[in-house]
Amino acid sequence: MKHAAPKDKHFLLRRELVSVLCRHQESFCAAELLAVSSQLVGNLIALQDETRMSPEIAMEIVLQNIEEGNRTAIAGLETETTAA
């Protein structure tokens, strides 16, 4: 699968989505935020045009980006720890 480098518009959308989740972190526990976000991802997978993207490719995109999100979060935690 081709890997596409994220563009500024991708970072902006991600920041906006994180902002929405942060606004609700007092009302929902982390597991609930994860559950709702996961359902949204499931909806987005279901809405893909199967003539352009197979369900397997959609899931590969999801898995690769979960892994990247984990790497980024861990790197951020390591940076915070060394800066403190």
pLDDT of residue 66: 95
Q: What is each CA distance from 36 to 6, 23, 32, 33, in whole angstroms?
A: 24, 14, 6, 5
pLDDT in tens, the chain (84 residues): 667 788 999 999 999 999 999 999 999 999 999 999 999 999 999 999 999 999 999 999 999 999 999 999 999 888 887 776
Q: How far apart are CA 73 and CA 6, in angstroms?
A: 16
pLDDT of residue 84: 67
Contact 40, 20 (CB under 8 A): no
